[in-house]
Structure 1
């Protein structure tokens, strides 16, 4: 993957809404495949998504991935700023009596990742890890700028629902206008605009 990670990319280039939309569609296809296999990635973020100059992206770093059918996911692992509320605070796992969490954690992290691509900074950018974890555990969203397109904001906010049962699945998100409509600008080379 010639361009490195999405984190490297957004520090080097200004990503257009249409590019983020295309990357998000590909990430969702990867998540849908994983989730269809009942596997949760548990560490979705720009640093774990690799990019080729052609514009294709691949999920990477499966070190924390877990087959949910085999063992319940209960441990608070992942990258702090992208963790879902139910990972940080078991009380948010209201619908599950065994206090495990599921595939929905990847959807929260995806919302944080789309936000990261569009703002060129991690979620909760002004907080340190303990402050961010406190807010996440209470279901407080990272700042989602009003300056983002309405489709991008709506997509992010659908992913960032406090309770896991309120989040759409990867398959449902593939029908969202942010990723389902064709980009309004070309996606061909040169792919990226220098900052």
Structure 2
């Protein structure tokens, strides 16, 4: 830690404290995530191990937050990340005007490039949401918070936890308790983020898991074994029955979207995971090649220093990250913009 000068505390989560710091020799501003080992016998927390493993699997990429180094400190260790000024959620919320179509295209291009790169390297992020998409001072978007990430394989017997992804962006197979799934869960989340940018509000804002499924079924219609082969074999399929209802045309759900945007959105939000468009294919969709073309990063909203953090109780309180914060206990999701 001697090589860093602490500028202030950003927050404290379940697995450590996050500081804004300056590398003394280079002058670089970074985010330090200190992860203590409460008991040496406990070993390194799984979420921290996953984050380290995932980011080490990925070589440096302009659309994935950079893990600069990891080093031991006291009875724990420190993760050093590049410091990012804000996140997509905060940028959209604080913008004076709704995003233009060109700006939405620009953010979606950067998101898809990051997701495609992760999937090419066999990484499932499993928690894509606007708060985990960091925005640099220059306007570039990068994927962050790989605490739920997994290296996936073609092993059909491999099982994963279904308790991943923030509810509003959780794929329907996860809501039905799937233990075997693929990178399609990230594609569903990308579709939810896309719809949110187009509509300036979340597509599926469920208050709990049951209501979340209701939100999805209300718009996409009640799935059947014909439209979603294998659905009836999902672990939680028989635990609840929904009334049959037809899908609502997405043209009515996202009324201001262009025809190309709606076509791409429909390719993301598909019940069977294997029928969802891949991130690499989505990058070639006509949406990105029709006027208006994606905005240059200098034409995107200027990120402001993020101050709002959500506590476990759901209340919000503002802090300035340049001022040392004492007695601040934040939910891990709240500090996603800095880790």
TM-score (norm 1): 0.82
Q: CA deviation at 1:86?
A: 1.0
Q: Which residue is 1:103 aligned to?
A: 183
Gap change, CA 1:181 and 1:73, over 3 Å in 2: farther
What do residues 96-137 of structure 1 show as CA deviations (whole Å, max 9, x unaligned)?
xxx500001100000001111222222224x42234333267
Matches within 5 A, 1:5-154: 5-13=87-95, 14-69=98-153, 71-90=158-177, 99-125=179-205, 127-135=206-214, 141=220, 144-154=253-263
Q: Which residue is 1:175 aligned to?
A: 284
Matches within 5 A, 1:147-162: 147-162=256-271
SS at match of 2:211: helix
Query: What is the distance in 2 between the residues matched to 1:67 and 1:186?
Result: 33
- Alpha-carbon contact 1:86-1:137 (below 8 Å) kept: no
TM-score (norm 2): 0.49
Query: What is the distance in 2 between the residues matched to 1:155 and 1:73?
Result: 28
Query: What is the distance in 2 between the residues matched to 1:137 and 1:147?
Result: 20
Which has the bigger relative contact order, CA under 8 A and spacing at least 6? 1
Query: What is the distance in 1 between the residues matched to 2:94 and 2:259?
Result: 25
Which range moved further: 39-48 or 114-123? 114-123
1:191 to 2:300 alignment:
yes
Q: Once superposed, what is the RMSD of the aligned Cα atoms? A: 2.7
- Alpha-carbon contact 1:73-1:102 (below 8 Å) kept: no
Which range moved further: 58-67 or 69-78? 69-78
**Structure with the larger helix share:** 1
Rg bigger for which structure? 2
Which range moved further: 27-36 or 144-153? 144-153
Specify every segment of 5 or more residues in structure 2 that has no aligned partner in the other structure, as ranges.
1-82, 221-247, 303-339
**Structure with the larger strand share:** 2
Gap change, CA 1:188 and 1:31, over 3 Å in 2: closer
Q: CA deviation at 1:57?
A: 0.4
Gap change, CA 1:186 and 1:82, over 3 Å in 2: closer
Specify every segment of 5 or more residues in structure 1 that has no aligned partner in the other structure, as ranges.
94-98
Which range moved further: 77-86 or 52-61? 52-61
- Alpha-carbon contact 2:126-2:149 (below 8 Å) kept: yes
- Alpha-carbon contact 1:18-1:184 (below 8 Å) kept: yes
Q: CA deviation at 1:184?
A: 3.9
Gap change, CA 1:161 and 1:3, over 3 Å in 2: same
